[in-house]
Amino acid sequence: MIRLTALRADDPENFPDPARALRDPNGLLAFGGDLSPQRLLAAYSQGIFPWYSQGDPLLWWSPDPRCVFDTGDVHVSRRFRRSLKHSEWTLSMDRAFAEVMRECAAPRAGEPGTWITEDMHAAYTRLHELGHAHSVEVWSGEVLVGGIYGVTIGRAFSAESMFSRATNASKCALLALCRTLHGWDFPLLDAQVPNPHLERMGAITLPREDYLPCLRGLVAQPGPAAWRLPFTRAAELA
């Protein structure tokens, strides 16, 4: 019988040890609680994140292994590099956080729905207002064509989702974010769960027992004083 920990509403910082997470489904750890800033920040600082569908209980996960990027070693293919050199796209950070989340939540081909519920949107927008969630946007003129958003604590960044309305736009957002984080001495970007798209861009996996001590060290370090991209044009990434 599967037994999961039910989180208490009056104890937002208390989570079970991630080592207790299920193997199948991989990483499922607990249920219940809420999406308050205090609980979310406590979760991310311990390598735990919420992931559930509309109408389901609030579920908390810590998968093993963990998908991460070395921020200084994102793979840029020759074709992608050529497209960047000739790109007229512009880049921004935190200019359209809520819009990036909306685009990430939009239905995608072959998927029945979205895990970015209205409650999730409100909760992460609140984290953004508190300075703990950030986005990178890719623009074609005044049209938002790609973006990525995630949660940061100290020098740890956990990417939540990205979207693309033009070929390579989400790759551009991810690359811009990693280049920026690398310049700020963020060694890793947490991508949570691997998939072929991320692996083609250089994502690797770490055993949870190796990832969590690294995370604890990064969370304890000071983050940047201001969140601004060091470049404004996609061509600068080539």
Domain boundary among 16, 31, 63: 63
Q: What is the average pLDDT across 203-215?
A: 98
- Burial class from Cβ neighbours inside 10 Å (0-12, 13-18, 19+) for residue 108 reads exposed
Q: Is it the case that residue 6 has pLDDT exceeding 80?
A: yes
On whether both 40 and 121 belong to a single domain, the answer is: no
Indicate whether 36 and 14 sit together in one domain. yes
pLDDT tens digits along 182-204: 999 999 999 999 999 999 999 99
CATH label of the domain that carries residue 82: 3.40.630.70
- Single pTM value for the model: 0.95
**Confidence check: pLDDT of 114 > 80:** no
pLDDT mean over 205-219: 98
What average pLDDT does this structure show over 75-86? Answer: 96
Q: What is residue 2's predicted lDDT score, i.e. its pLDDT?
A: 63
Same domain, 198 and 114: yes
Same domain? 186 vs 100: yes
pLDDT tens by residue, 9-49: 889 999 999 999 999 999 999 999 999 999 999 999 999 99
Residues 226, 116, single domain; the answer is yes
Residues 84 and 151 in one domain: yes
* Count of the separate structural domains present in the chain: 2
pLDDT tops 90 at residue 216: yes
Percent of the chain with pLDDT over 90: 91
Q: Which domain holds residue 31?
A: 5-63
State whether 29 and 42 are in the same domain: yes
Same domain, yes or no, for 78 and 179? Answer: yes
CATH no. for residue 36?
Answer: 3.30.70.3550
Are both 182 and 74 inside the same structural domain?
Answer: yes
Q: Is the pLDDT of residue 236 over 80?
A: yes
Whether 172 and 202 share a structural domain: yes
Tokens for 180, please give them. Answer: 């920026």
Residues 46 and 128 in one domain: no
Token pair recorded at residue 210: 């190796």
Examine the domain organization and report whether 40 and 146 are in the same domain. no
Please tell me the predicted confidence (pLDDT) of residue 53: 86
Cis omega (within 30 of 0) for bond into 194: no
In tens, the pLDDT along 156-178 reads 999 999 999 999 999 999 999 99
Helices (H), the chain: 37-45, 78-85, 97-105, 118-129, 169-183, 196-200, 208-219
Residue-level pLDDT at 115: 78
